[in-house]
Amino acid sequence: MAAIIFDLDGTLVDSVPDIHAAVTLMLADHQASPMDMSQVRSFIGNGVPALISKVMEARDEDPADAKRHAQLEATFMRHYTAAPAKLSQLFPGVRKALLKLQGAGHAMALCTNKPIIPARAMLASFELENLLPLVIGGDSLPVRKPDPAPLHAAARAMGADPVLYIGDSEVDAEAAERAAIPLMLFTQGYRKSPIAALTHSATFDHFDELPRLISRFADR
Ligand SMILES: O=C(O)COP(=O)(O)O
Ligand SMILES: [Mg+2]
């Protein structure tokens, strides 16, 4: 029975609204004007330090200014951990699909570049913590996706074979390829490239399709 690893932002949860809200509060605290939601969405995928660097670049600040970067990151995290799941929503069908997969006996884990504290808080808000008890966050290991190590760590912890990965982005495709784990690409997330540009084993547009897709894939 295949074990399944899920990405979080842009895969299970449309999390941009809360990330955008925390960026807006961070910018306000540092006397800067807000940024629109679509720009913030394009900065998501490589974790919080990369998000802060991209915000700095967009504002003609030098992301290599470590002191300024650390200040902004601390401000962002203060706002974000206070409300990681106030405006965000699960993508349609996520809960039903996870319940179905759990019922079918699949071991499941979360592997996200989001720091572990807001990642766990988000799972709790959506009452998914029992479905995804194992969480590898962006700060759980010295490296994050697209390094394959977080996927390997999740796979090892579940101790099951084969393993499938469900994600939405360029980062997920690269991590899966480097980990030699098949990726099922959710097409409605935060990907910036065309589907064909990303290495994947299957695609799906709605979580209602996922349980059948996984059982067909595992039966091959
Ligand atoms: O925090 C990010 O930038 C992305 O998070 P994800 O790995 O859950 O998509
Ligand atoms: Mg993602």
Do 30 and 116 lie in a common domain?
A: no
Asked if 110 and 131 touch (Cβ cutoff 8 Å), the reply is no
- 64 or 32, greater pLDDT: 64
Q: Which of 64, 82, 100 is the last residue of a domain?
A: 82
pTM assigned to the model: 0.97
CA dist list (Å): 146 to 124, 180, 182, 195: 26, 12, 14, 17
What is the model's pLDDT at position 217? 83
CATH of the domain at 64: 1.10.150
Mutate to test the pocket of ligand 1, among 112, 141, 143 (most ligand atoms within 8 A of CB): 112
Do 20 and 8 lie in a common domain?
A: no
What is the model's pLDDT at position 160? 75
CA-wise closest residue to 211 among 108, 90, 88, 122: 108
Mean pLDDT across 23-37? 95
Which residue's CA is the nearest one to ligand 1's atom 4?
45
Ligand 1 neighbours (beta carbon < 6 A): 7-10, 44-47, 51, 112-114, 138, 145
Tens-digit pLDDT profile for residues 139-175: 999 999 999 999 999 999 999 779 999 999 999 999 9
> What 3-state DSSP class applies to 167?
strand
Mean residue pLDDT of the chain comes to: 96
Number of domains composing the chain: 2
Do 156 and 99 lie in a common domain?
A: yes
Mean pLDDT across 78-102? 98
For residue 113, the ligand 1 atom closest to its alpha carbon is 7
**DSSP-derived pairing of the beta strands 108-111 and 89-90:** unpaired
Amino acid, single-letter form, for residue 39: Q
Do 69 and 112 lie in a common domain?
A: no
Mean pLDDT across 13-35? 96
Q: Which of 30, 50, 82 is the last residue of a domain?
A: 82
Do 46 and 141 lie in a common domain?
A: no
Mean pLDDT across 12-38? 96
CA dist list (Å): 34 to 55, 97, 163: 10, 36, 41
What is the model's pLDDT at position 68? 97
CA dist list (Å): 149 to 28, 62, 204: 36, 29, 25
Residue 186 β-bridge partners: 204
Do 148 and 200 lie in a common domain?
A: yes
Our answer to whether residue 7 is catalytic in this structure is yes
Q: Which of 82, 103, 138 is the last residue of a domain?
A: 82
**What domain range includes position 62?**
16-82
CA-wise closest residue to 113 among 86, 58, 151, 165: 151
Residue 218 has pLDDT above 90, yes or no: no
What is the model's pLDDT at position 220? 63
CATH of the domain at 147: 3.40.50.1000
What is the distance between the alpha carbons of residues 108 and 103, in angstroms, rounded to a whole number? 11
Do 76 and 92 lie in a common domain?
A: no
E strands along 7-114, which residues?
13-14, 89-90, 108-111
Mean pLDDT across 90-103? 98
Neighbours of 83 (CB within 10 A): 16
Ligand 2 centroid to 8 CA: how many Å? 6
User: In the chain, what percentage of residues exceed pLDDT 70?
Assistant: 99
